[in-house]
Structure 1
Amino acid sequence: MATAPHAAPTLITSVQRALRLLEAAASHRDGAPAKQLAREAGIPLPTAYHLLRTLTHEGYLLREKGVFVLGGAVERLAVGGAVQNRRSRLEESLHHWRDALGVPVYFALYREGEIDLVAYADSPHAPAVSEWANFRETGHAHAVGQCLLSQLDDAALGDHLDRHPVQPVTRYSVSDRRALVERLAATGRTQPVVERQEYALGTVCAAIPMMVGSNAAAMAISLPLHQQERLLPAVEQLRSGVGGLLDALAFSISI
C-alpha cells in the first residue's frame, strides 16, 4: 500500500510576521523605527504598522521617541522559561535520588515565614507520606519542618512558633514548645534530623539541612516503620551527594 504524503504544517502568517518583528526589534538595543523593522523583517509596511500596534498593546514592544524597543512581556516570557527550566532540573534531581535510594524524596524551603514543600518524587512502590495534617502548621512534628526550623535564628523561630503553636500530632510528637526548642538546639543547624512516627503513624523520616540562596532548605526521605533500618544509611547516602545536588538546585527562590 502506498504511503500517503505528509501534509505540510499549517503556518499562521501573522504569527510568523510578528515574531520576525520581535526578532528585528531585539537586534537594536536602542530601538528602531517601524520602517526599519518592516524592512529587516521583510514585511510590507502597512502590515508591519498593524502588527507593531498589536505587539505594543500587548506589552511585547514599547514605542519611545518614535522607535520600538522590547517591552516587559518579553522579559516575563524569558523569566518564565528560565523558572520552568530550573523546576525541571529540580524534579530531575529528585527523581534521580528517588530511584537511587528507592525511597520518596522531598525538597522544601522556609520562605516568607512559612514551610513550603516545593516538590517531591515518589513511586507506587515507595509512596510519599500523605498530608493528613496541615504541613505548614505542623512543622514541629515532621523531619522537614524540624530541619528547617533548626536553621532559623531565635527571633525567626519564636515568630514561627507564635503563629504555629506546638501541639502533639501523634502520641510520639514533641509535647510542647520548650521541648521542641531544646531538641532543635541539640540538633544543630548542620546535622540531619530524624523523626519516628511524630507526624504519621507507621512512618519514619529523615531530613538534611541545606541553603538555597539566603533561604533555609531541606531534603528529606521517608520509609515505612518496618523498614526503618534503611533510614540512616539512605539519608547518609543522600547527604554525601548534596554537593552535586546543590549545583542542580542553584535556582531562583521564585519557583
Structure 2
Amino acid sequence: MIGSVQRAMRLLETVAEHEHGAPAKQLARKTGLALPTAYHLLRTLVHEGYLYRERGLFFLGEAAERLSSSGAEQKRRSTIAHTLAQWRDLIGVPLYYARYRDGEIDILCVSETPGNPAVHEWADFRETGHAHAIGQCLLFQLDEDARRDHLDRYPVQSLTRYTVRDAATLLRRLERVGRMEPVTERQEYVLGTVCAAVPLTIGDAAATIALSLPARQSDRLLPAARQLQREMGRRVGSLALAISI
C-alpha cells in the first residue's frame, strides 16, 4: 500500500464530514497525522483542486465534487443496466433505455444477448425518431411545439415501405396513443423487425424502455410490451431515481 495516498484519502473523507469546513489542526488530530504531514498533504490536495482553503478552513473542491457526481452518475447507469438485464432474461427480448435530452433522442443503454440481438443502427437513431418505436414514444411525451420543432430539424424520410410517409400523419398517430399505452412500429425502421416502447415520464423527463423482436414473432410484440410495462410498474421507484440525472 502507498501510505501517502491512504493518508490523503483519510483527509478527504474527514473534510467531507465537515460541511462548514475544518482547520488543519483539527483534520490532523482526527486523522491521526502529524501536523507537518497534514499540512503537506492538504497543500497538495488544494493544488490539485480536491480541496480549497478559505479563512483557514478546508472544504471539498471542484475536483472532489466532480468525482462524487461521476460516481453517482455511474451508479444510476449501473442500476438501469442491471434492471434491463433482469427484464431481458425474464421476457426474452433485447431492451433499450432512451431519453429525450436537449432536443435529441439519446439511447443510454442497450441490453442484448447472442440469442436476442439488438437492432443494428443502420440509420442514425437520433435522426430517424419518426421511424422507430423509441423515437415515436419520446415524441409522444413532448408537447406539440416540441414535436414540431424536432420534426423540422429531422424531417420524416422513408426508410422502408412501411415507414410513416409525412409529419402530419405521424402527429395524428401520436395524438391517438393512450397516455400509458405502448407505442409500436412494425418494420418502419428496418425490414424484418418490430418494436414496442413503453413511456416512462417522471417529472419533466421524457424517457422510454423499448423492446424489439423479429417480424416473424410479431404476435409476441404486445404481450411482451405489456409484461415489460408490469415489470416497470414494480420498479418505478428505482427507475425514477435512475433517470433523475
TM-score for the superposition, normalised by structure 2 = 0.94
Query: For 1:186 and 1:120, how far apart are their aligned partners in 2?
Result: 28
TM-score for the superposition, normalised by structure 1 = 0.90
Query: Percent of pairs identical after alignment?
Result: 60
Between 217-226 and 61-70, the greater mean CA deviation after superposition? 61-70
Between 77-86 and 142-151, the greater mean CA deviation after superposition? 77-86
Instruction: Using the TM superposition, give the Cα deviation of residue 191 of structure 1 relative to its aligned residue in structure 2, in angstroms.
Output: 1.6
Partner of residue 4, structure 1: none
> What SS does the corresponding residue of 1:241 show, helix, strand or coil?
helix
Partner of residue 30, structure 1: 20
Query: Within 5 Å, which residues of 2 pair with 1:74-93?
Result: 74-93=64-83
| C-alpha contact (below 8 Å) 2:10/2:31 kept by paired residues | yes
Instruction: Using the TM superposition, give the Cα deviation of residue 127 of structure 1 relative to its aligned residue in structure 2, in angstroms.
Output: 0.2
Query: For 1:209 and 1:243, how far apart are their aligned partners in 2?
Result: 11
Instruction: Using the TM superposition, give the Cα deviation of residue 55 of structure 1 relative to its aligned residue in structure 2, in angstroms.
Output: 0.5
| C-alpha contact (below 8 Å) 2:24/2:38 kept by paired residues | yes
Partner of residue 149, structure 1: 139
Partner of residue 114, structure 1: 104
Query: Within 5 Å, which residues of 2 pair with 1:135-214?
Result: 135-214=125-204
Query: For 2:133 and 2:185, how far apart are their aligned partners in 1?
Result: 6
> What SS does the corresponding residue of 2:78 show, helix, strand or coil?
helix
Query: Within 5 Å, which residues of 2 pair with 1:4-83?
Result: 11-83=1-73
Structure 1: segments with no counterpart, 5+ residues: 1-10
- The Cα RMSD (Å) is 1.6
Which of the pair has more CA radius of gyration?
1
Between 188-197 and 83-92, the greater mean CA deviation after superposition? 188-197
Query: For 1:19 and 1:108, how far apart are their aligned partners in 2?
Result: 36
Instruction: Using the TM superposition, give the Cα deviation of residue 254 of structure 1 relative to its aligned residue in structure 2, in angstroms.
Output: 7.0
Instruction: Using the TM superposition, give the Cα deviation of residue 110 of structure 1 relative to its aligned residue in structure 2, in angstroms.
Output: 1.1
Partner of residue 5, structure 1: none
Instruction: Using the TM superposition, give the Cα deviation of residue 241 of structure 1 relative to its aligned residue in structure 2, in angstroms.
Output: 2.0
Query: For 2:242 and 2:114, how far apart are their aligned partners in 1?
Result: 30
Query: For 2:17 and 2:193, how far apart are their aligned partners in 1?
Result: 57
Check 1:245–1:183 CA distance in 2 against 1; reply closer, same or farther (3 A cut): same
Query: For 1:101 and 1:242, how far apart are their aligned partners in 2?
Result: 12
